[in-house]
Structure formats: structure tokens, C-alpha cells
């Protein structure tokens, strides 16, 4: 297939360049990072041509998809591309992501672009620093192409709660099948990282970062037909990621292939002293020791013999549609055909996960969002200015006007819910009980997995070492599974017309399969695994805390079908 382009200028520049590409190569901006890197290193394509192709698709589709809130200046992007070309041509300082355009969800702080969190409260806010993960990816040579749309402060599963408008599922838009369909019959991209997933699926960038608090990377990845990876909590720095719920928020990665996700994960999975929740170097080294002793290490890359795959029976919920069940069974059968052993498992407390999340996460959000008062930074109501001029000392009203204008309906709803949970009369009955249930769910997962949780085994390991005990065998139990396979969501991408403010509780259930991984901090990944009614749908894999590498291995196999 010949290279296509959304711009005649781009195509003419490509033809004039000294870089040549096989006629069988598909459109540049739809390549994987690994494929694009190979072409760049072989000088069959230039970094300038690469970014121009992404920009042409962005100009063509973003008005319909609404994936981006802000786009970097074109001259800045092209200058970065030329700098990458020079490094590649001169063979010096070759970086892993040289010339690769990447987007960031608009809750990652960036110095050059505004960081709005999809909210009127921060509509004009520009951070004085870059988030740690942004710095790491830029140091690796990547080019920031823009900031993607999102549910306000990450609160939502459909990307409808944004001050900048909803993100539309790009699947039929980019295939020109939806030009005559009314916008209310379009489908959601998923949230809250819908802009990031839609941008990658549309070929507007090669990868994007999102944040995953309750499934906000995996859900839109499933709806848009891309890879959505949530690492183990604490492996990737959250410094510079604007907080929704501290104990749940995780940096997520959206790409077109599992290899690309692992490549970016390897770059950003670094200890950061600025992040108090970042896993320490000692614990990282201990976790690597456990991975080194994995009984699966002797296998070839795509050989799953010896792998134990768990199927949690509690995931067979009444809301799950029959086509999704068939797809789930197909995934289970495929892993079995590759040598894996399938085991039915039970996580009895997982039925409380959804309600536990919607007690704890809003409580944390209520506390975190209290800082937005219109005094220090962010939106300030014009009513406040007149009150200040008139020396009105009613500061409660001063804050109320700003917060009423700055926050959207879903954020207000969750702040109120969280504030109620933290009040004196409700704290013990709701918040403390939810924390206890969260611990029970974590214990359930630890029982299910064969690999021990490194956070619990760390001190025991050194006690055994001091007693001259061979503790390596204790890293893995005789019983248990290595990964879990589940659906990502209960259905394909819903229509936008299905959503309204009167039935919002019904759509909280969309997170039912993704929330448990956030409650216990384990890694999880969504892999495209077919289509229903011509819309993509994914399956989810989860593994023990710190066992991200096993997750990648199994995901690469599942990706082959």
C-alpha cells in the first residue's frame, strides 16, 4: 500500500526528500513506534515527514473528534523534528524516541502549553514546570504535539464532562462512515483519557500519556481499539500530574502495540524523589529480583506453557452483554491454545469494589480540590472582584462563586459526595469501612496470584537472608495464577445520546471491571480483541503488584490474534 497523506504539501515534500519508503508501507502516522524508529534509523523517512503526517491527520480529523484541547505551534514541532533529524544523521546522541510525536492528557503539567484538566477552573493556567514523566520522554527525544481532552479532573468514563466539549469515538469518523450521522448518534471515546485514546487511534500521534484512577486509560483504549496500560502504582512518577485521588491516580500509557507500551514504560518507570509515592530504589531492585526468579523466564517470548491464567467468576455480572461474554471466552480459549493453564478463581470481596471506590475516590477529591479557591491561582469569579473592592469579608461567598463557575456538574457532584463521606457522622460508617474493604480486596488478590506481593515480602526476605535461609523459593507459591483475564467493559462504546444527568448512576457501572486494579495498585492492560457492530472492544489482563513484565509477555501473545 502506498503512503497516504492528509496534505498535498506533505506528500510533495516527501517525494522530494532523499528518504524512500517501500510502497507496501502503510500510512506513516499509523505505524507503531518500533516501526517508525526503524525507518528513521535506516533513513527511509525523516522525522519532519513523520510529524507532518501526524499534523495533517490532526488538521483533518480533530474538528470532528475533538481529541485535543491545545496543539503545540507547528513551527516548534518542526524545529524539534529537524533537531532529531540532525542527531540521527550525525549518529550522535541517538535517543529511543527521537522524532516521535507524543501527546499528553491535559492534567500533566507542561511549561510550554496550558494545563487545564478539562476545566474552566484552570482554563488559562500554565505550569512553571514539566511533570517528571514529560521530562523523561522529552529527554528520550520525543516531540510534544499537544494536550489532549479529558473529563474534568479525570472524573468520568465517557469524556463528556469536559469544559471543552466531548470527545467522539474516532472509529467511524476516520473511516468516513459518519459524515451524515447527527452528532448525538455518535459514540463516546471513553474516559477520562478519551482525548489521548482518540488521538492515538486517529493517527494524530504515535502514543499518548493518560492518567488511570479507576480505568481512565483502559476504558477509552477498549472503546477506541488501542493498547491501554496501567502500571503498578508507584513505578511511574506522579509529580506534575494534577491530582484527582492520590491513592488511586496512576500514569497510564496509550499506544498501538504492546511493544510500544513497554518501550515507553521502560523510559518513565524511574524513581523520583519529588514524588512521595514513588517506589524506592531498594524496593525496585527487590522487585527485579523476584522477576528474575520467575518460573516463566525459561520460556520463549510467545510460549505460554506453564502460565496459569485465572478467570474470576465474580466478573460474570448481570450487566455483561452476551457478545462480550463470547469475546471473553474466545480470549480464554486462545491463551489455552498457546499452552496456558486456565483456572477458575474467586475474589469474594470484589463485589464491593465499585461502591468502595465511589466512597474513597470522591473523599480524596473533595480534599484535593479544596485548594481551588480563586485566590492563589486559577479562575476567579468577577463577582469576587467586586466583593474585594467593597471590602466584603464574607470569604465563604467569595470561594463559592469561583467554585460554582469554575467546576462542572460531575466535579461538583463528586465533591459533595466526598465531603459528605468525610463529615463527622459519616466518616466511620463510610470512609473507614471502605478502607477496610479495600484491604480485604487486596488480600483476595494476593491469595489468587502465585507470585508474592513484593511490598509484603521485602522485609521477610532480608530476615531469611540473615538466617541463611534460601528464600528465593518463597517468591512464588505452589498454588495460584500468574495473570487474570477479564472484559474491560460491559459493552461496546455507548451512544452519546444514552447519557444524561438523570441516569448518571447507571454509567458508574462502566468502571466495574477496571476499578479493582486501582483499588489494590496492580498493573492492568487493555488489548484490542475484536469488534462488535463494527466498533472495537478489548480484553483486560491483570497481574500481581510489580509483575508488569509478565503482563507484557501475555499481552503480546494475546495481541497476535
Q: Active site includes 216?
A: yes
CB 220 within 8 A of CB 230: no
- d(CA 171, CA 492) in angstroms, rounded, equals 12
All three cell numbers of 537, joined, read 472492544
Residue 196's Cβ-side half-sphere holds a number of Cα atoms within 13 Å equal to: 38
All three cell numbers of 359, joined, read 466512597
All three cell numbers of 169, joined, read 469515538
Distances, alpha carbon 447 to alpha carbons 133, 261, 477, 544, in Å: 33, 28, 10, 10
Choice among 105, 147, 230, 553 that is catalytic: 105
Phi, psi of 531 (to 5 degrees): -135, 150
All three cell numbers of 548, joined, read 508488569
CB 65 within 8 A of CB 173: yes
Question: CA nearest 208: which of 246, 252, 176?
Answer: 252
- d(CA 470, CA 464) in angstroms, rounded, equals 7
Q: Active site includes 105?
A: yes
Q: Which residues pair with 360 in a beta bridge?
A: none
Q: Active site includes 192?
A: yes
- d(CA 518, CA 212) in angstroms, rounded, equals 8
- d(CA 92, CA 88) in angstroms, rounded, equals 7
Q: List, in order, residues 6 or more apart from 41 with CB less than 8 Å away.
A: 88, 94
What is the CB neighbour count within 10 angstroms for residue 193?
37
Question: What is the greatest pairwise CA distance in the chain?
Answer: 75
Choice among 192, 269, 291, 526 that is catalytic: 192
Q: Sheet containing 535-543: which strands, arranged edge to edge?
A: 68-71, 143-148, 101-105, 207-212, 250-255, 227-230, 524-532, 535-543, 483-487, 308-312, 341-345
What is the CB neighbour count within 10 angstroms for residue 429?
11
Q: List, in order, residues 6 or more apart from 360 with CB less than 8 Å away.
A: 245, 247, 248, 431, 434, 435, 438
* 3-state secondary structure string across 215-240: CCCHHHHHHHCCEEEECCCCCCCCCC
Report the alpha-carbon angle 506-345-493, nearest 5: 30
Choice among 46, 142, 157, 216 that is catalytic: 216
Q: List, in order, residues 6 or more apart from 322 with CB less than 8 Å away.
A: none
Question: CA nearest 488: which of 511, 506, 505, 504?
Answer: 511
- d(CA 191, CA 164) in angstroms, rounded, equals 14
Residues with catalytic annotation?
A: 105, 192, 216
Amino acid at each position: 500500500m502506498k503512503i497516504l497523506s492528509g496534505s498535498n504539501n506533505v506528500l510533495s515534500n516527501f517525494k522530494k526528500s532523499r528518504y524512500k519508503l517501500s510502497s507496501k508501507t502503510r500510512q506513516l502516522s499509523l505505524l507503531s513506534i518500533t516501526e517508525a524508529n526503524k525507518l528513521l534509523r535506516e533513513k527511509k523517512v525523516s522525522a519532519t515527514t513523520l510529524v507532518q503526517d501526524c499534523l495533517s491527520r490532526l488538521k483533518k480529523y480533530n474538528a470532528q473528534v475533538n481529541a485535543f484541547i491545545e496543539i503545540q505551534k507547528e513551527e516548534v514541532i518542526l524545529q524539534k523534528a529537524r533537531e532529531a533529524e540532525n542527531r540521527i544523521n550525525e549518529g550522535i546522541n541517538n535517543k529511543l524516541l527521537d522524532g516521535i510525536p507524543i501527546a499528553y492528557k491535559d492534567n500533566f503539567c507542561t511549561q510550554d502549553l496550558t494545563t487545564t484538566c478539562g476545566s474552566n477552573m484552570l482554563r488559562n493556567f500554565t505550569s512553571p514546570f514539566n511533570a517528571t514523566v514529560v521530562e523523561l520522554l522529552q529527554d528520550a527525544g520525543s516531540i510534544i504535539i499537544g494536550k489532549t481532552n479529558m473529563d474534568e479532573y479525570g472524573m468520568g468514563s465517557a469524556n463528556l464532562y469536559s469544559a471543552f466539549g466531548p470527545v467522539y469515538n474516532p472509529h467511524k469518523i476516520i473511516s468516513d462512515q459518519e459524515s451524515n450521522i447527527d452528532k448525538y448518534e455518535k459514540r463516546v471515546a471513553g474516559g477520562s483519557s478519551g482525548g489521548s485514546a482518540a488521538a492515538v487511534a486517529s493517527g494524530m500521534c504515535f502514543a499518548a500519556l493518560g492518567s488511570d484512577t479507576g480505568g481512565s486509560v483502559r476504558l477509552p483504549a477498549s472503546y477506541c481499539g488501542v493498547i491501554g496500560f496501567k502500571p503498578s502504582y508507584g513505578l511511574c512518577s506522579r509529580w506534575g500530574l494534577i491530582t484527582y485521588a492520590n491513592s488511586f491516580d496512576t500514569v497510564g500509557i496509550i499506544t498501538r502495540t504492546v511493544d510500544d507500551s513497554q518501550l515507553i514504560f521502560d523510559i518513565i518507570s524511574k524513581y523520583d524523589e519529588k514524588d512521595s509515592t514513588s517506589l524506592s530504589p531498594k524496593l525496585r531492585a527487590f522487585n527485579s529480583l523476584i522477576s528474575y526468579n520467575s518460573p516463566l523466564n525459561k520460556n520463549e517470548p510467545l510460549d505460554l506453557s506453564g502460565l496459569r491464567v485465572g478467570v474470576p467468576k465474580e466478573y460474570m455480572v448481570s450487566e455483561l452483554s452476551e457478545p462480550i461474554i463470547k469475546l471473553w471466552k474466545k480470549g480464554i480459549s486462545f491463551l489455552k491454545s498457546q499452552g496456558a493453564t486456565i483456572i477458575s478463581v474467586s475474589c469474594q470481596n470484589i463485589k464491593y469494589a465499585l461502591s468502595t471506590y465511589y466512597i474513597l475516590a470522591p473523599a480524596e477529591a473533595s480534599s484535593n480540590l479544596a485548594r481551588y479557591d480563586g485566590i492563589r491561582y486559577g479562575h476567579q469569579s468577577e463577582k469576587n472582584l467586586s466583593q474585594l473592592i467593597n471590602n466584603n469579608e464574607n470569604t465563604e461567598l467569595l470561594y463559592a462563586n469561583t467554585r460554582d463557575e469554575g467546576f462542572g456538574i460531575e466535579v461538583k457532584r463528586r465533591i459533595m459526595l466526598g465531603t459528605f463521606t468525610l463529615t463527622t457522622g459519616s466518616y466511620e460508617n463510610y470512609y473507614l469501612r471502605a478502607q477496610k474493604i479495600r484491604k480485604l480486596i487486596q488480600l483476595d488478590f494476593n491469595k489468587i496470584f502465585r507470585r508474592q506481593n513484593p511490598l509484603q515480602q521485602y522485609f521477610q526476605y532480608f530476615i531469611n537472608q540473615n538466617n541463611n535461609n534460601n528464600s528465593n523459593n518463597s517468591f512464588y507459591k505452589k498454588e495460584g495464577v500468574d495473570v487474570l483475564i477479564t472484559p474491560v467493559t460491559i459493552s461496546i462504546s455507548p451512544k452519546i445520546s444514552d447519557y444524561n444527568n438523570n441516569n448518571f448512576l447507571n454509567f458508574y457501572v462502566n468502571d466495574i471491571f477496571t476499578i479493582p486494579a486501582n483499588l489494590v495498585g496492580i498493573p492492568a492492560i487493555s488489548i484490542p480483541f475484536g469488534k462488535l457492530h463494527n466498533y472495537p472492544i478489548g480484553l483486560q489482563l491483570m497481574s500481581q503488584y510489580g509483575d508488569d513484565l509478565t503482563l507484557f509477555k501475555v499481552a503480546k501473545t494475546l495481541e497476535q490474534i
